[in-house]
Chains A and B, each alone.
Chain A
Amino acid sequence: MNIHRYEKLWLVAALVLIVGFIATITYGSVGLGIAMIDDEAETVNPEKLNEHEDFGEPGVKQVGENEYEVYVRAWQFGFDPGSVEAGLDPIEVPANSTVTFYITSEDVIHSFSVVGTNINTMAIPGEVSSVTVEFDEPGEYGILCAEYCGAGHHTMEGKIIVHPEDEYAINGTDVETGNDTTDETEA
């Protein structure tokens, strides 16, 4: 098989480019620590989420000094917590915190995508997506469902509010009580 000299050069250049791409992705994973959504979280029964230890009362939980866990249930067509439009609380966390989101779905496949960030994961019934992020600055973020989930898909949205650290303590208690009251709103 004779291959033209230029074609050999091209082949080598293409291979270098491919290996280069793989190297940058590997750097992103290992060097920058951008972890992929994986199979670490335990599965859940989508029909018995109300009985689940964490998803039974979804919301924000403080687990360390600057560490929070947020359990979110996606449903047709909203996020609990998150969907202010549906009368639920927004997700509220303080700035300079490390937040781990645990997201699952009650019904069909949804997504939990936070606009303007790289928080973007599928919410699959039975599976739990876990995403750990750091919120450096106070601000507001929109959440949307980017996976078609039924006729009202385009109305499915929510909100994350990142409070300044010193103002969060008050809001923090609000979140706690808020959770207790919103528990049944979706039923």
Chain B
Amino acid sequence: MGAYIDHFPREAKLIRSAFYTSFIMLALGGIFGVIQTLHRTDVVRFIDSADYYTVLTAHGVFMVIAFTIFFLVGMFTWAVTTSLERPLEDMSFSWLWFLMMTVGAVITGVTILLGFVESVDVSADVLFTFYAPLQAHPLFYIGLVLFVIGTWLAGADWFRSWWAWKRENPDERIPLPTFMVLTTMIMWYIATLAIAVSILAFLLPWSLGIFDHVNPLLTRTLFWFFGHPIVYFWLMPAYMMWYLLLPKFAGGRLFSDPLARVVFILFLLLSTPVGIHHQYMDPGIAEGFKFIVMTNTMFLLLPSFLTAFTVVASIEHGARQRGGDGYFSWLKSLPWREPAFTGMALAGLMFAAGGFSGMINAGMNINYLVHNTLWVPGHFHLTVGTAVALSFMAGSYWLIPQMTGRRLASKPIALLQVVLWFVGMTFMANSMHRSGLIGIPRRTAEPQYQGFEFEAALGSVSELNAQLAIGATLLFLSLTLFLWNMLITAFNKSAESPGENVIPTPLSGPDDSPAVLDNMKLWTAIAVVLVILAYTLPLASIVSRGGLLGRGGDAFPVSIDYLALFAQVALESAAGLV
């Protein structure tokens, strides 16, 4: 036995590359995050308010597309190889998908950042949701397509490993970590189908000038078809850490393997047919569809409730193994000194708070109060911004030494970092939720208006802004500490054994779970049927009302005939070569 890198040196290199890429994206996203907070709260404004939206697009895309998903592919590769105890089938294929994702991310990222350069007529100030008729440069969409295809191939790689393993172990249950990867990827395939259609059939040809219009409600609905499951795509690697690593760090074992499987299946089934809950305030979608989606969304709370139970029970079991006792005093026996443990525990705690604000969002008529206010970013900074991001950072304190064979540079600083993130997010999320309740909008450079003022229910608006700015500053500081620690670790000369790469077997093992849980074909079929049920009628109605390509309305910014432009550039460069 030994560290991951001792068993799988080639895979460790790939996973390292994925993690380091995700950290670079995190650094960029963090810089734009802090600039944006200081700007909108009017603390420091050194950019033009028109450029705010470039900053906001960059923050969103770098954080929730690039950072999260690059981390995910590293994490999933670790989970599959570790639990199947076999290397990837073909490393050159694996590098191919990684390269494709990287190229895609760079193309999209550069296209966004060119929005700052006025002399170049390329921009993509369309935010992470890219709602038409706001239009990005075609390269923005092309980069996204490459990135998503990269993730499809990555999924194929993990399925390939599983199929190869199954041939050699026909009678064995799918190991839990691989099970988690496979169910999550099936969800991702279903979800990304919609965004592929949206981009390839509508947005990309439209941005190239082939169509004059698109149907804004159709592309928006297709976005949320993909846009809700993507939040679970971010979340599943964090859940995986809470199920697989957190009990281990706590000194125990996972409480129940069968229930973990049930939870991941519930996410596979329910995370896609709920996307319309982001469109409660949209015209053109009947109230009945919104109601169905609302009930589906509420049932989606179930797997998270089950997770809360299993994770806390597993941690308590671990604490008791370490000599803890009493109703609550076992909490003292947990390894709080370990940043990986503490970070994940704090992330889980904040996720509970985020879950509650999510229930408000899900309530369709309560949603009138909070829709598109700062409440919503408050909610998802607790979920993706903490439950996911903090778990990833905490997990890195264990995973990076596993992948490099090097000792973590500083444990005390790592511990300070995770606590600082928790504290910073407390200020930020509290301020955002409260601001949202008094109607302050999200996604705006200057939430200060000429004709009216917001009335704070408690304190004042400037107080809320100050709190938001303090939160963002603390988070940025925490992020800097994290990146510094990772940088030093990567070049750490001290090669100390980072401990065994072992996932302890659960208390209630796979033998306790019905074999039907492992029937991937069955669950895929049910998931597809649910999606068809939830989306056929709304999509048909949207198309019959607004037409497949819409009925007018110009692209913004005014679209340029890019095909002609490309042809011209190609000719000129060809002439240059000659």
Contacts and interface: CB of A to CB of B under 8 A. Distances in A.
Interface of A: 1-4, 6-7, 10-11, 14-15, 17-18, 21-22, 24-25, 28-29, 32, 34-39, 41, 43, 45-48, 76, 84-85, 105-109, 111, 113, 115-116, 118-122, 124-130, 140-142, 144-155, 157-159
* Residue from B216, B258, B302, B438 with most neighbouring chain A CB atoms (10 Å): B216
B450 A120 contact: no
Given A37-B281, A154-B49, A120 B291 contact: no
Interface string B331-368: 00000000000000000000000000001001111101
A35 B287 contact: yes
A116 B52 CA distance: 26
A146 B131 contact: no
B553 A29 contact: no
A35 B23 CA distance: 45
Contacts of B541: 39
B133 A148 contact: no
B286 interface: yes
A17 to B, nearest CB: 8
A116 B5 CA distance: 57
Contacts, number: 229
Contacts of B365: 25, 28-29, 32, 34, 36
Interface string B419-457: 000000000000000000011011111110111111100
A21 B501 CA distance: 42
Nearest to B312: A10
A159 B452 contact: yes
A10 B309 contact: yes
A118 B368 contact: yes
Contacts of B438: 116
* Residue from B127, B368, B550, B554 with most neighbouring chain A CB atoms (10 Å): B368
A127 B373 contact: no
Interface in B100-146: 125, 127, 131, 133-134
A76 B556 contact: yes
A145 B441 CA distance: 8
B407 interface: no
B217 interface: yes
Interface stretch (B26-34, B74-82, B508-516): B508-516
B134 A128 contact: no
A27 to B, nearest CB: 9
Contact of A121 (B131, B281, B295): B281
B372 A113 contact: yes
B147 to A, nearest CB: 22
Contact of B53 (A115, A148, A155): A148
26 contacts: A1-B514, A2-B508, A6-B309, A7-B306, A21-B362, A22-B295, A25-B294, A36-B365, A39-B283, A45-B551, A46-B551, A47-B551, A76-B556, A107-B554, A109-B220, A113-B371, A116-B439, A118-B368, A121-B283, A144-B439, A146-B444, A147-B372, A149-B134, A151-B50, A157-B450, A159-B452
